[in-house]
């Protein structure tokens, strides 16, 4: 099957993707780069694209809303990514116990992550309602006067983080599969050596699932920077821009104000930020990610 004539047929099979790559990825990327250095009133034709050099970028670095959206996104990512990982690992460890009914628990925990984001958002708008929402009702049982959540600039972002915690199911599933790759005999050996539960967790479980943590960290960072639907539906950036996520600001610039050049420049800055963070995690990984295969070499 290795003659070159039939191998050329391989191109035919990957042709759809290849065309997609050119039409929907590479082409748009080049166009987006051109736009980011241009001013364009979209209503008129392509001819009216005007090269303005670094003007968009200069304007962005003087734009208070750019910094605000960056701040919101950073706070969200820095709080929620580690928080979600810790919570997911703990639940995954519990769900990895060998006992009856675990399958049932796994289903329950995973369920929220298949619910459409719009539906989840609607549900939580109601839950966060200060007067008749169930959250403040529950806090009331402990004598806590709950805040106005989505209407309060000090709490709105926190509310979205709390809501996110509710839907960490798919991260849990990924950890669960990571945990199932940890050889049982290591735990037995640990137990024989007199290691307690916590010792076994920190010396066996945690190091062996570092590749999964690594994967989830990268996905978490990318996801955090692309957060959109929930913020759009629940707060639309408010109150007082306290939930103006970067992606939401980008959307407003592009599809509300139709400032495509500016928005394209914003999207490239986002790309660079995500790339830097991803590279940072990848570069740091040699210090903390442990691959089981490594020590056999």
Question: Which 112-131 residues touch other proteins, going by CB under 8 A?
Answer: 112, 114-119, 121-127, 131
The yes or no reply on residue 166 touching other proteins (CB under 8 A) is yes
The residue from 54, 78, 86, 111 that contacts other proteins (CB under 8 A) is 111
Q: How far apart are CA 241 and CA 257, in angstroms?
A: 17
- x-marked contacts with other proteins along 18-37 as a string, rule CB under 8 A: xxxx-xxx-xxx-xx--x--
Shorter beta-carbon distance to other proteins: residue 73 or 242: 73
Question: 237: which 2 tokens?
Answer: 């950036």
Q: Is 164 exposed, middle or buried (0-12, 13-18, 19+ CB in 10 A)?
A: buried
Residue 239: φ, ψ to 5° = -75, 145
3-state secondary structure 52-102: CCCHHHHHHCCCHHHHHHHHHHHHHHHHHHHHHHHHHHHHHHHHCCCCCCH
The residue from 14, 78, 189, 276 that contacts other proteins (CB under 8 A) is 14
Name the one range near other proteins by CB under 8 A: 63-71, 74-82, 147-155, 167-175: 167-175
> Which single residue is written with the structure tokens 């529950």?
138
CB of 211 vs other proteins, minimal distance in Å: 4
CB of 210 vs other proteins, minimal distance in Å: 10
CB 244 within 8 A of CB 65: yes
Secondary structure E strands in the chain: 38-39, 50-51
Q: How far apart are CA 215 and CA 234, in angstroms?
A: 29
The yes or no reply on residue 280 touching other proteins (CB under 8 A) is no
Name the one range near other proteins by CB under 8 A: 53-61, 64-72, 76-84, 277-285: 277-285
Name the one range near other proteins by CB under 8 A: 2-10, 53-61, 71-79, 237-245: 2-10
The residue from 10, 53, 64, 194 that contacts other proteins (CB under 8 A) is 10
Q: Interface residues for other proteins in 43-82 (CB under 8 A)?
A: 46
The yes or no reply on residue 151 touching other proteins (CB under 8 A) is no
Q: How far apart are CA 180 and CA 193, in angstroms?
A: 22
In 10 A of CB 235, how many CB atoms?
Answer: 26
The yes or no reply on residue 264 touching other proteins (CB under 8 A) is yes
Q: How far apart are CA 148 and CA 136, in angstroms?
A: 9
Name the one range near other proteins by CB under 8 A: 50-58, 76-84, 110-118, 144-152: 110-118
- x-marked contacts with other proteins along 222-261 as a string, rule CB under 8 A: x--xx-xx--xx-------------x--xx--xx----x-
């Amino acid at each position: 099957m290795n003659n070159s004539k039939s191998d050329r047929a391989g191109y035919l099979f990957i042709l759809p993707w290849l065309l997609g790559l050119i039409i929907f990825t590479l082409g748009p990327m080049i166009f987006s780069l051109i736009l980011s250095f241009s001013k364009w009133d979209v209503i008129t034709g392509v001819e009216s694209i005007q090269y303005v050099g670094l003007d968009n970028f200069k304007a962005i670095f003087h734009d208070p809303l750019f910094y605000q959206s960056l701040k919101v996104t950073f706070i969200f990512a820095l709080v929620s990514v580690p928080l979600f990982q810790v919570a997911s690992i703990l639940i995954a460890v519990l769900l990895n116990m060998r006992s009856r009914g675990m399958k049932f628990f796994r289903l329950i925990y995973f369920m929220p992550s298949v619910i459409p984001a719009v539906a989840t958002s609607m549900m939580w708008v109601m839950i966060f309602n200060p007067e008749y929402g169930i959250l403040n009702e529950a806090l009331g049982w402990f004598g806590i006067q709950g805040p106005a959540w989505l209407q309060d600039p000090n709490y709105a972002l926190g509310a979205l983080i709390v809501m996110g915690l509710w839907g960490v199911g798919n991260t849990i599933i990924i950890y669960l599969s990571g945990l199932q790759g940890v050889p049982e005999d290591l735990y037995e050996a640990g137990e024989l050596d007199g290691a307690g539960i916590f010792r076994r967790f920190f010396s066996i479980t945690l190091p062996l699932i570092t590749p999964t943590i690594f994967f989830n960290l990268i996905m978490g960072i990318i996801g955090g920077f692309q957060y959109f639907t929930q913020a759009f539906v629940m707060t639309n950036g408010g109150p007082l821009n306290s939930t103006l996520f970067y992606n939401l600001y980008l959307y407003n610039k592009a599809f509300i104000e139709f400032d495509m050049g500016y928005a394209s420049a914003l999207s490239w800055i986002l790309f660079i930020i995500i790339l830097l963070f991803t590279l940072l995690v990848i570069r740091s990984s040699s210090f903390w990610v442990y691959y089981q295969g490594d020590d056999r070499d």
